[in-house]
Amino acid sequence: MWNHHTASPAANTARKENLMNEKIRCSWAGNSPIYIDYHDNEWGRPVHDDVKLFEMLILEGMQAGLTWITVLKKREAFRESFDGFDPYKVALYDDGKIQELMANEKIIRNRLKINAAVSNAKAFLRVIEEYGSFDKFIWGYVDYTPIKCHWEKHSDLPANTPLSDKISKDLKKMGFKFVGSTIVYAFMQAIGIVNDHITECFVYKEISEITACYAST
């Protein structure tokens, strides 16, 4: 989005320093090891595993109104508390389980978001039943071909697009919650439907090469 990341003075300084390093990164990665690891190894790299797709969809919803690094720091606790983000298990959560989650200080304790995670798991399973997998559904919007953008600087990135608007509306009709267009666009960025790394970023180049191989097969 960068939605996830409003570049701070420190992040801008880090970007300048990166220009002198072997690897050039998007400015939002900054100096934080957890951010750098997420930027280098996950953000924008195509994801097709349904469990991982469900995880990212829920985490993006959890991030609403908060910083992404807050979510990343609690990610392992979320995985432990939400049964590894297995949608089949999360869909069965009852009031007792929700109360247990609300008492867990290691995660984001927002009842609306936790309730949404459960209802979204149920909607997620309905999509799987209809399409065979959530992967087929979500990647069908781009015919399995990532959108390759050409941003020169972080500030050029949009918060949403006409496609995220459409996906958001479709998801809402299917019963999903916390899937506004901005959240959906962040989800699209995270799972690689759109490559929003700046063009000088080393990850942008790696993803471009990978997706070129996809297109040729």
Give the active site residues: 38, 60, 68
3-state SS, one letter per residue, for 162-198: HHHHHHHHHHHHCCCCCCCHHHHHHHHHHCCCEECCC
Q: What's the rounded Cα separation, in Å, for the pair 81 and 75?
A: 10
3-state SS, one letter per residue, for 79-124: HHHCHHHCHHHHCCCCHHHHHHHHCCCCCCCCHHHHHHHHHHHHHH
Report the candidate in 136, 142, 135 with the shortest Cα–Cα distance to residue 161.
Answer: 142
Buried-exposed string 95-111: b where 16+ CB fall within 10 A, e elsewhere? eebeeebeebeebbebe
The contacts of residue 170 (CB under 8 Å, 6+ apart) are none
User: Quick one: tokens of 91?
Assistant: 């869909």
Counting DSSP H helices and E strands in the chain, the numbers are: 12, 2
User: Quick one: tokens of 210?
Assistant: 């990978």
Q: What's the rounded Cα separation, in Å, for the pair 197 and 151?
A: 7
